[in-house]
Amino acid sequence: MKIVFATNNAHKLREVQQTVGDKFEIVSLRECGVVEDIPENEPTLEGNALAKARYIYSRTGLSCFADDTGLEVDALGGEPGVRSARYATDGHDDEANKRLLLERMQGVEARGAQFRTAIAFIIGGKDTGQIGLQNHVILRQTGHQPQHISIHRRRFPVKANGANSAGSVGTDAHIGPLFRLR
């Protein structure tokens, strides 16, 4: 079965393809002729993931999945969250986002945070009603740069209504384990 992954990131594509083996043929947006930016206007990670999956299905007619990830900092009430890529500007300016985050964290000692990924699936034209959540809990920062962190990963499959099912410790694969949701 061919399934579109809402990315052109070669590393993510390879990681997922290795995880699912030959059960699915994972193809990129570009391979399906989707070259435009996909709107991410929803107020939640789950909403963005589902909107992107629906957009891809409407453009390709193929089974697909899409993700959205955000950094949630406890001391900032979960910010930047769904706005992580556009935290400091309307564009994807990683350096500006890091500067703003560090500025807002000045003087804050409790630096708990997590990366959270939501993944939505449309299989055979049907919204599966399942959204996978994968938490990447930041245990400690190993340097002064925000990208140097140690991560403990957990995944929590949830139904579209938000009810959690039992979570388990995930693997290093970013999205691949969530194929087991079906």
The structure tokens listed for 118 are: 């939501």
Cβ distance 130 to 159 under 8 Å?
yes
Report the distance separating Cα 180 and Cα 128, nearest Å.
13
Question: Which residues are part of the catalytic machinery?
Answer: 68
**Burial label, 171 (beta-carbon count in 10 A; 0-12, 13-18, 19+):** exposed
Instruction: Give the phi and the psi of residue 112 in degrees, each rounded to 5.
Output: -65, 140
For the chain, report the end-to-end CA distance as a whole number of angstroms.
14
Q: Coil, strand or helix: which one is 121?
A: strand
Cβ distance 136 to 150 under 8 Å?
no
